A and B are shown apart, each in its own frame.
Chain A
């Protein structure tokens, strides 16, 4: 019985659209990569991001991207930024969005998710947790 439940929950997990597109890369310059699970991919304009992806830039690296809720990111050099959670309902325009800035710099113009509910969009740094209330801002995490 227990095994049957485990198998069932496995099926349910597999049924979630984990592959759904959440953002598209608009620009990638210098050394950049996207870490997805154990893999490492090279982004170019049109590259589709998935929840859990990690944006990594080298010394001269820069990435620009727009999410499906209209949130826009610009990632500076020497950065490591993870999209830990991105749930968005295109119909209700509500969702939850958690980004983690491990190092480097990130400029943000928030979109529909931040508008949908107080602190629906969060940004984590190594020392703090931020609640985004609809705005344009920069987070910098020096090494």
Chain B
């Protein structure tokens, strides 16, 4: 009887700690959303196994098996790993006055927000993409969208952000937020989209 208890105790401790091979720990996204990871191959052979159970651990050698884990009791190693993930990139739209590279007054404070984000992110990268509405010629809008992006890059550099961190591209009128056909004056489409990573 005692021997059996010891044997089962050993088995239990082994299940929790004897993960000798590679393992996968699946967690909810930071927004709590569902995700999945498929095991496509195991020891060189194709397998058909998809892990969808959040807060679970799956062995990655031998036949995959998934078991639940307590997300509040992650070990220190895993916790440290998750805490060291960089912050999610932030996105901001800045809007322009019609046909110009002048920001709308409402969008002006966005520049300071971006400066603050860059300052808080060591090793930051800032991608600025310009867009226009569909008023005027496609080629002219290509030029205008690029000028808008460059204008924002210049404004950010003037605020003290190192120019090497900034890139500007223009996409013209190709990616409207509000799609109402050609020659449509749209304040929503006269914008740059800034991503700080």
Question: Residues of A at under 8 Å CB distance from B?
Answer: 24-27, 45-47, 62, 64-66, 68, 70, 72-74, 76, 90-91, 101, 105-107, 109-110, 119, 122, 125-142
Contact = CB atoms under 8 A, between A and B. Distances in A.
A132 B40 CA distance: 10
Contacts of B37: 130-133, 135, 137
Given A125-B22, A137-B27, A139-B22, A131 B38 contact: yes
Given A127-B60, A135-B29, A137-B26, A64 B42 contact: no
Contact of A47 (B88, B123, B171): B123
Nearest to B197: A66
A138 B50 CA distance: 15
B160 interface: no
A125 B24 CA distance: 10
B71 to A, nearest CB: 11
Interface string B18-44: 011111111111100011111111110
B8 interface: no
A119 B195 CA distance: 25
Contacts of A27: 84, 86, 122-123
A133 B27 CA distance: 12
A46 B197 CA distance: 11
Nearest to A127: B61
Of the listed residues A47, A65, A70, A72, the one surrounded by the most CB atoms of chain B closer than 10 A to its CB is A72
B22 A141 contact: yes
A27 B37 CA distance: 27
Interface string B118-133: 0001111101000000
Of the listed residues A65, A74, A91, A137, the one surrounded by the most CB atoms of chain B closer than 10 A to its CB is A137
Contacts of B137: none
Given A24-B197, A129-B41, A107 B22 contact: no
